[in-house]
Every structure is written in structure tokens, then in C-alpha cells.
Amino acid sequence: CVQPPPGPRRGPPPGRARAGAAATAAVATAAVLATAACDIRLETDPLVTPTPDAVTVARDLAALQEADIVAALAAPATGGPGDGALRAIESAAAPAHLEVLGGVYVAYPGAAPEPSADPMPDLRTAVTVARDRALAQAFAESETDAGFLAGIRGFTHAFALWHAGVLDARAANVAVPVVAERTLPGPWGDGVALVPEASAVGSQALAELAVLHDQARFTYEVIAARESGVRRDRALQRARLHRDRSDALAYLAGVDERLAVYELPGARVADAAARDETARDTELALGWRYMALTSGASAVERSWLMSAAFDAYAAAAMTEGFAAAHFPVLPGADPASS
């Protein structure tokens, strides 16, 4: 490596000693670097790939499960009312869940997700797997934000599968009761009372639930007064269920804020279609409120809150005119669905 010969030394002019010293230091440093560059190659530390924590691993797994549903939706439909209903709900829900989760993880921008060695599951299998794993996470991490989101995802998939099953049963001429108390399907809701004997849910929240059920009771009684035959009987049955639940919740709250009469515009019960819509909206509002209360709730509280929410959404689904668009993709979290 050839270096230029040094130039003649000159002292700094008067008043510029500091500037000259700085310039001399800079030149000296440059010369050292130039000399070093002839024989030494500077190295950088190797890149360290971060190790994902448990939260990240769970999020990535959840995203893959939602992506499996999206992929299964691209396969040809198998036919039947149940498959159609499942597709209608999941075509809105799964992409929304995937977006909330941040999408499927890729190692670097532009990279494609690693392909799975497993065969692509069919739609019902993909939804069932996502439901089971999401609900397991929800109850294991119940009081966390991740547990709240997992509960919403699992609840949505559970409802979609249940609704599909109801439509398939009806198509096969299997009787399905229109009015019944229903809990979250599977081990998460088996044997769960829709109102517990004791609860850590706040007194005010319980009192508000009591009022909502009492309003529902009143609504169904007004609907029954406008109906006849089977439709009247069903409205009265649902009114009694709401009355009993309202009484139990008011007792549990220790505060009773219920009224004797509630406002219900005549247009909302003017004809059969309006009455069905009113009943459906009443149940949807109840279901959303119950799901919202699962945020930060313990696993014990989550079990009855989610089951009560499921009962309300199932009742809404049993009304005439119910469509997949009526079911929110993020029940309890999406303000637009309240």
C-alpha cells in the first residue's frame, strides 16, 4: 500500500491554534485508517435472531389457524345449508381475526410463510381446531388481553359450528327446539349455570344485566300480546326465561334498578317481521354485553359469562330472518356490533 509523502510542517496562524489542532488530528486519524485499511478488514457482530416468547408463539399459532380457515374457504363448497352458513360467518370472521392478530408471521419482508407439511384441512375441521385451541387459550390466560381475544375468536367459531349444525339438522328433518337455554358447546359450557350462585363480577355490572334481561322480558311480553298460536307461545317462553334470569341477577347484585315499564316504540312490534327483528336485536345486545364482561374475567367467571352470551346469540339465530351478517365478527370487542 503506497502512502503519500508527508508535506512540510507549518505552524498555525495566530488565533487559529485550536482549529489547526483539530484539523491536524483529523488528518492523522484519516492517515491511520488509510494505513489500517491496507492490512485489516473491519468485522461486524453477527446478526442475532430473536427468540420469540410464549405470547408471540401463541399469537403466531392462532394466526396460522385463522389462515387455515381462510384457505379452506377457497375450496369448493360441499353444499347444504350448514356449509353455506358456516362459510357465510367464517368468510367475515376469519379474515377479521387474522387482521387483529397481525397476520401470519414471515421472517423478513417479501418472504412467504413456511409451507405446512400437513394436508390442508377442510372447512369444518379448520374451524373446529381453531375453536378448540382458542377456547383452551382463553380459559388458560383468562384475565389477559390475549385471553380476551382468544375467547372472542373461540366463541365466534363455536357459534358458527353450532349454527351450521342446527341448519343441517333441520334439513335432515331433525327437530331442534326454538326456545331453550343453551350454553357454550363442549367442556367449556357443560353443566354451567347461566346465573351462578356467587360471582366476582361487580355489583353494578350484574345490576345492569338484570335490567337488560328485564327489558327483554318486557319486550317478549309485548310481542306475545301481538302474536297467536306457536309464535305467541314461544315469545312467552322466552319472556319467562328472561324474567327468571333477571330475578336471579338482581338478587346476586344486591341492587335492583329494574323498572315496571320500559319504552318500546310501536313500530318495533307492528308486524311479524318487525317483531322478529326486535327480538333478534334484543338478544344480540345481551350477547354482546356478556362477551364484553369477559375482558379481565377469571376462568370461573368466563365460563358462565360466555355461556350466557352463547344463549343470547343462539336465541337471536333462532328468529325468523336471521342471517350471518347479523352476527358480529368480534362479539364483545367491536363497538359496531353493540
Asked if pLDDT for residue 213 goes beyond 90, the answer is yes
pLDDT, residue 19, reads 41
Q: Could you report the per-residue pLDDT of 80-131, keeping only the tens digit for each?
A: 899 999 999 999 999 999 999 999 987 666 655 565 556 778 999 999 999 9
Q: Which amino acid does the sequence have at 203?
A: S
Q: What pTM was computed for the model?
A: 0.83
What pLDDT is attached to residue 247? Answer: 99
- Please indicate whether residue 180 or residue 24 has the higher confidence score (pLDDT): 180
What's the pLDDT score for residue 289? 98
C-alpha cell at 82: 350448514
**Percent of the chain beyond pLDDT 70?**
80
pLDDT given for residue 53 in this prediction: 81
Q: What is the pLDDT, as a whole number, of residue 321? A: 97
Please name each of the domains of the chain with its CATH number. Answer: 52-108+115-176 (no CATH), 180-325 (1.20.1260.10)
| Residue 37 confidence (pLDDT) above 60 | no
Q: Return left, alpha or beta for 235; rule: phi > 0 is left, psi -120 to 50 is alpha, else beta.
A: alpha
pLDDT for 173 beyond 60: yes
Q: Which residue has the cell 346465573?
A: 195
pLDDT value of position 334: 64
